[in-house]
Homo-oligomer: A and B are copies of this chain.
Amino acid sequence: MAEASKRRLRLGMVGGGEGAFIGEVHRFAARLDDHYELVAGALSSQSDKAERSAQALGITRSYVDFEEMARQESEREDGIDVVSIVTPNHLHAPVAMAFLKRGIHVICDKPLTATLAEAKALYQVAEASQAQFLLTHNYSAYPMVREARAMVKEGKLGEIRSIQVEYVQDWLTQSLEQTGNKQAVWRSDPAQAGLAGCVGDIGSHAYQLACFVGNTQGKEVLADLSSWVEGRALDDDANILLRYENGAKGHLWASQVAPGNENALSLRIYGDKAGIEWHQESPNELIYSVLGEPSQRLRRGNSYLSEAATLVSRIPSGHPEGYLEAFANLYREFAEQLLTSTPNPNLPTLATGLHGMRFITATVYSSQNNGLWVPLTD
């Protein structure tokens, strides 16, 4: 993938001030391919913190209120083209609406919103807007994930039978939220995170990845959620059974209380001809096993891969690309989509996010009812 040609988009950011994690990631991602220039921000709702954060980043147009930011930026001639929303979940909907209504494109972190109702409302606002929307399900932008999706689509696996996906961490094994850790606090607070904890934070990624690579969607879900840590209001571990629209079945395990797991997102899909296996912590590799043949180790950057992988690779094989490069792929592809007006079918949209909220909602409902099969339709 060659470097960007040179029209750079003006970018704003809401959230992502001092101490934030994902805001910094979005900035790295925006910078890597030189398609964006960060010029405005409402980095915090506390004015001193917003100001300090903006200064540290060299952003001159610093706001405290996102509504004010949306209004002013939409009125400037050199106003932002795109805003990145990197707040806790409960703010995604109001912030996104504010910008969409004024025709400013939105890049929003996942999950889409805190509740399904918000998601539906946001969806309607977006329908009425000319502006475009990107949901940063970043794991779907790894080159070998794109390769996997292309392989399933081309029928290399045959008819899909089983999808096994998991996303496992250990950072909430103990009650980190009681130590004041900012990331833990909001993620375990229903008012900020929404109706789910682990399922919303990482289960939603795992589910999107399974659907994206499997070229399908969940049809019904059955779940057994747990909150292992005393005093924790939301789930921190989830065993979920799925039946997909393409007929496949499978399991999704999401956990934030499994010691020894850092960010262990992995996906295995099996059809009647072949199986594939991908692990986020070794993202440059995809295992491909045709029934009766030796397993093959497909690796990023090689000429035997399809265009799907090649388009989102930067450097030669053996020079590992990582998390930031994959995240940057979304930023880059969204920029290209905006600049060329050509929709990219690989990009997660508001519809992706809305379906994701159905998944979260159905999962919680199933678990509350001791394991009902709950449909994932409207």
Residues on A facing B (Cβ under 8 Å) = 2-3, 5-6, 8, 21, 24-25, 27-28, 31-32, 34, 55-58, 161-162, 164, 169-170, 173-174, 222, 224, 226, 228, 237, 239, 241, 243, 249-251, 253, 255, 257-264, 268, 270-275, 277, 280-284, 287-299, 301-304, 314-325, 370-371, 373
Contacts and interface: CB of A to CB of B under 8 A. Distances in A.
A56 B5 contact: yes
Contacts of A243: 224
B228 A257 contact: no
Contact of A371 (B241, B273, B294): B241
A261 B295 CA distance: 9
B320 A323 contact: yes
A257 B237 contact: no
B318 A237 contact: no
Contacts of A373: 370-371
Contacts of A297: 294-297
B318 A321 contact: no
The 5 closest A-B pairs by CB, nearest first: A260-B289, A263-B318, A262-B318, A322-B322, A320-B322
A324 B281 CA distance: 16
Contacts of A292: 302-304
Contacts of A295: 260, 296-297, 299
Nearest to A22: B315
B323 A258 contact: no
A263 B317 contact: yes
B259 A274 contact: yes
B270 A315 contact: no
Nearest to A28: B32
B322 A253 contact: no
Contacts of A321: 322-324
A335 B338 CA distance: 34
Contact of A294 (B21, B56, B296, B320): B296
A273 to B, nearest CB: 7
Contacts of A224: 222, 241, 243, 249
Given A164-B253, A228-B161, A271 B259 contact: yes
A24 B164 CA distance: 34
A324 B314 contact: yes
B56 A27 contact: no
Given A262-B317, A320-B322, 14 more contacts: A2-B56, A3-B57, A8-B58, A28-B32, A31-B31, A34-B58, A161-B228, A251-B251, A257-B270, A259-B291, A260-B289, A262-B302, A294-B296, A320-B320
A324 B317 contact: no
A252 to B, nearest CB: 9
Contacts of A257: 161-162, 270, 272
